[in-house]
Structure 1
């Protein structure tokens, strides 16, 4: 998939673009699973997260039942792929620790034996009863009805964008208060949603939103590394490793998580420095201005706020002078 495929095309009707973005990611997930392996599962899972982020961007324009049905369907499909992806990530993490010689060879061998068994079991569970083909069939049936989005404008995206930002801020506050791995992971999910939404919207003002999207990507990556280290320590504690080996893994994970979190907290504070209304409001106005520019429509100030005229997805061209 090219980088531009997951970006809003400003010269197209907004309802068609949103439907295209959702469907393209669902199709990408389905194609990836045609030849399933660790990489294709990762591709499919990431595509489903992107589809879900698009869906959440327009949640305010959809009937609640329609949104809940689609959101739950995409989430559940992603969860079914999760154990295989998690096992592959843990394998990769241990490979990296081995290259760094961060743990004794005996600990690495014990971890690899445990993780290989978990990885194999995850694949058995996923492929049982033709499970992958069942997922592909369900993906083929997923539809975001374009008619339900007919007539949406820039303002229709404001609610979903504000909701995503607000949820991330709430999860940040909870993570700061509790300092538990579970809470950081819950925060990461919201950071990922917003990061994907920013990628979609980057074309409306790349100079501003490009760096913002990269900041959220960086935050999500750091939170992901924190989660992976915590999971590795948990697996080591629950496995057949000896106490000394498990403690060595826990010490390493704790030390690296502390280093990661020293960067996570200030970056998170910067990313969530605005109120949800302010953040979503200015991005919505960027979108309105970009759509108006792309369709040759004028921008008129309204109560001190620039809104497109007419304020819908299809802008009438500016009449040429006689």
Structure 2
């Protein structure tokens, strides 16, 4: 069943099971000698984000343990960010090329692809201890798996879930309101983070009413595509403008930045429209509704 709670298990048991599964998958990826390192880093970082989404949902039940757990997985992900960030720039450029397929841009895209490939290779070459870093991380994750066995979730499951849902959802609505008033890259990024955690929470709770929550999950997937692509283009803009010696002629840079601005405008427009619908409900009402779904779902279990 993977990244979702089961009807027959307690909240605490479900949290420990899901965390253990995510860590086991991360360790397996890191220990596979045939695995492409770029893919491995990407997949491991995804597991860390899902773990952070999990603990954020039950943060009130974890109590004082929450901060240390959340920070550890945040920092572990950042340890691998250098190569992943360099790879994501190339993926963003490829997406941009699909958006602007005019042959007139072919030489421009080819030039920047070469420059970004060179930049990525430089990052890899400079990280001389990458294999050692991944081996060390694998060992640390083995220790983390043992710690998960002792995680305790204190308090009634309905109260813990309602608190976690409401807090993240509230932050999402607050960021969205600020974004409408004063758009900025930072606020788009904040909305992206909150919508991503909200997606994880809906995935975790999907089984309480699959028909309703699967539809919400699909809309959140689309929203996160919009906001994620926009964020990647914002990072690309920062990199290109911050390293002029790496990216060649100013005229070429400006032409690419013009295409990026056009694409970001479209992504932001679509993203805001969808986010307004997803976060239309008041945080307290939303959290209460999902709590009721959980309570009714648990009451239906057999045995």
- Fold-level match, TM-score > 0.5? yes
SS in 2 for 1:6: coil
Indicate the residue corresponding to 1:155 in structure 2. 159
Report the counterpart of residue 115 of structure 1 in structure 2.
Answer: 116
The corresponding residue for 2:203 is 199
CA shift at 1:233, angstroms?
2.6
Cα RMSD, aligned residues only: 2.1
Cα separation, partners in 2 of 1:13 and 1:135, compared to 1, 3 Å: same
Aligned-partner SS, 1:149: coil
Unmatched runs of 5 consecutive residues or more in structure 2:
none
Q: Distance in 2 between matches of 1:36 and 1:278?
A: 45
CA deviations over 1:21-51 (Å, ceiling 9, x no partner): 1221122222222245222211111111111
Question: Relative contact order (C-alpha < 8 Å, sep 6+): which is higher?
Answer: 2
CA contact (8 A) 1:14 1:153 kept: yes
- Rg larger in structure: 1
Residue number in structure 1 paired with 2:230: 226
C-alpha separation between the residues in 1 aligned to 2:275 and 2:4? 24
Structure 1 residue 275, shift from structure 2 partner: 1.7
Q: Does 1:254 align with 2:255?
A: no
TM-score (normalizing by structure 1): 0.84
Q: State the 1:98 CA deviation.
A: 4.4
How far, CA to CA, are the matches of 1:221 and 1:103 in structure 2? 27
Counterparts of 1:150 and 1:233, CA distance in 2 = 45
**Whole-angstrom distance in 1 between the partners of 2:52 and 2:78:** 13
| Deviation at residue 155 of structure 1 after TM alignment | 2.3
Aligned residues: 292
Shift of 1:128: 1.8
The partner residue of 1:7 within 4, 8, 23 is 4
Q: CA deviation at 1:218?
A: 1.1
- TM alignment of 1:80-95, pairs within 5 A: 80-95=79-94
Note the 1:1-322 alignment, pairs <5 A.
4-34=1-31, 35-64=35-64, 66-98=65-97, 100-101=101-102, 104-124=105-125, 128=129, 130-142=132-144, 143-146=147-150, 148-149=152-153, 152-237=156-241, 238=243, 239-294=246-301, 296=302
Alignment check: 8 A CA contact 1:97 1:103 kept = no
> TM-score normalized by structure 2?
0.89
Distance 1:30 1:279, change over 3 A: same
Q: 1:219: Cα distance to partner? A: 0.8
Specify whether residues 61 and 126 from structure 1 end up closer, same or farther in structure 2 by C-alpha distance, changes over 3 A only: farther
SS at match of 2:129: helix
